[in-house]
Amino acid sequence: MLYLVGLGLSYKSDITVRGLEAVKQCSRVYLEHYTSILMAASKEELEQYYGKEVILADRELVESGSDDILRDADKEDVAFLVVGDPFGATTHTDLVLRAKRQSIPVEIVHNASVMNAVGSCGLQLYNFGQTISMVFFTDNWRPDSWYDKVLENRKIGLHTLVLLDIKVKEQSIENMARGRLIYEPPRYMSISQCCEQLLEIEETRRSKAYTPDTPAVAISRLGSSTQTFKSGSIKELAEYDSGEPLHSLVILGRQCHELELEYLLEFADDRDKFRNDVVADQEFFKPAPWVPPQEDDD
């Protein structure tokens, strides 16, 4: 059996009871180690808690060496641990499909992830549209395909969850080209860098998917003891020191309910300004009043 086990957001004990029972019976335990990190638990702490060796699975192993993970999983139990929920990344869907093609039984153990825990900022989950990922820009690579998704969300009034890039066990282009297995130090995108990149792409695209004054909420260390939220405009959050990782951002949609707004005001430095920004923003993409079609006199 291949077990895909969600670990939750922060602590070693966030794993579910069913997930822990599955891990304890497995002969091999892999920890996916590139889409996210468990903020309040190290590999050694997990090993002590599970009573098992934990094998770190980087992107290369998961995407290119999946045969190693699935080895003998038709005869013994293997666990693949994922921070958050197992289906938070498409890579894990691919692993399940590979297992099924080899007739390996698969069991999923779900857990909390940013996709549902984001509701703790006060925004209602059913008011969210498409989620986007913001990657680190480089000198010659500044992708903006996500911009159209924000625009689509905003046109129908929905909030946009922005997942911020992390780089764990990544090689520089030079080391990659020279075949040197030298890895860069881990990097985690900050709220300010994300907002700066948002503003840069809006300046380039000029379709007004959002403006510098568009309201947003910064989410830091979700699910941990130091979890924090900050409400403000994108321009204001571009100057916000969000502290230690991990971070995410929500760009508000036009349909911001009064209860959502009241909750977000708790996290605003200037409550009146933030309320005014939300009211002004609701005019964006506001549907034209419906006019009934005129009937023909005939």
Q: Which residues are annotated as a binding site?
A: 9, 85, 88, 113-114, 164, 222, 247
Q: Tell me the average pLDDT across 135-149.
A: 95
Inform me whether the pLDDT recorded for 188 exceeds 60. Answer: yes
Asked if 159 and 248 count as a contact pair (C-beta separation under 8 A), the reply is: no
How large a percentage of the chain has pLDDT more than 70? 94
Annotated binding site for S-adenosyl-L-methionine: 9, 85, 88, 113-114, 164, 222, 247
Residue 213 or 186, more confident: 213
Q: Compute the residue count for the chain.
A: 298
Predicted confidence (pLDDT) at residue 30 exceeds the cutoff of 70:
yes
Token pair, residue 166, equals 């992390």
- Going along the chain from its start, the domains and CATH numbers come out as 2-112 (3.40.1010.10), 115-283 (3.30.950.10)
* Alpha helices (H) along 76-162: 90-101, 114-117, 146-155
pLDDT tens per residue across span 12-24: 999 999 999 999 9
Closest by CA position to 278, among listed 122, 148, 119, 132: 122
pLDDT for the residue 184: 66
- For residue range 54-110, what is the model confidence (pLDDT) as tens digits? 999 988 888 787 899 999 999 999 999 999 999 987 778 989 999 999 999 999 999
Residue 193 has pLDDT above 70, yes or no: yes
Question: What is the structure's pLDDT at 60?
Answer: 81
Instruction: Decide: 240 and 228 in contact? Cβ < 8 Å.
Output: no
pLDDT of residue 27: 97
Q: How far apart are CA 132 and CA 123, in angstroms?
A: 17
The pLDDT score that the predictor gives to residue 210 is 96
The whole-number average pLDDT for the span 154-165 is 96
Q: What is the pLDDT of residues 276-289, one digit of tens each?
A: 999 999 988 887 77
Q: Can you tell me the mean pLDDT for 189-200?
A: 98
The identity of residue 205, as a single letter, is R
* Contact status, residue 36 vs residue 11, Cβ threshold 8 Å: no
What's the whole-number average pLDDT of the chain? Answer: 92
The radius of gyration computed from the CA coordinates of the chain, to the nearest angstrom, equals: 22
C-alpha distances out from residue 3 to 10, 92, 219, 233, Å = 20, 11, 30, 42
